[in-house]
Amino acid sequence: MTDGAGGAPVAGGAAEGADGAAGAAGEILRLLAERDETLAVAESLTGGLVAAELTAVPGASRSFRGSVTAYATELKHLVLGVDAGLLAAEGAVNAQVAEEMAAGVRRVMGASWGIATTGVAGPDPQDGQPVGTVFVAVAGPAGRKTARLRLNGSRAEIRRESAQTVLELLSSQLRENARRQDTEQHGGI
């Protein structure tokens, strides 16, 4: 994972598998419930896998608002508000598109947090990007964060790893946000 789209890409496959995603989903929902915050998901290449991981956790309805699977490029603009000029110029596989998807689903669903996935699972390249190029993003109260991934493996492995990574990115942001709030509440001590 990177701090932004310009950092070093992450390489890998689905080594941790579904258990890693399920664990992250449970932790995310616990943290959100503790804070009375909510989450919405925008997915492209993952086609609902992220939402499925979240809704597999008992009690998910307390914090999970819903999801949009905007697989078609024009839906990223029409439903999520991604800039049409950006999509026309850069295509859907782009860090800024991922950020705008996350911010858009957060806005559309009235959620505290939004997360998004966009990329190329294969079998063919898309928008000038090779198979395994993925962008995941988080939009929340403290801003946005994006990660660029370079994944190897089958289509299914790329999709699974993308879902797991966006959940891990959100989990990291939630923990960082909690530390920031704790520091502010206790005067920096």
Instruction: Give 10-residue mean pLDDT values along the chain (189 residues).
Output: 39 45 90 97 98 98 98 98 98 98 98 98 96 98 96 98 98 88 63
- Report d(CA 50, CA 28) in Å as an integer: 12
The predicted pLDDT at position 5 comes to 41
In angstroms, the first-to-last Cα distance of the chain is 29
pLDDT of residue 148: 98
Residue environment code for 110-142, b if the CB has 16+ CB neighbours within 10 A, otherwise e: ebbbbbbbbbbbbeeebbebebbbbbbbbbbee
- Beta pairing partners, 112: none
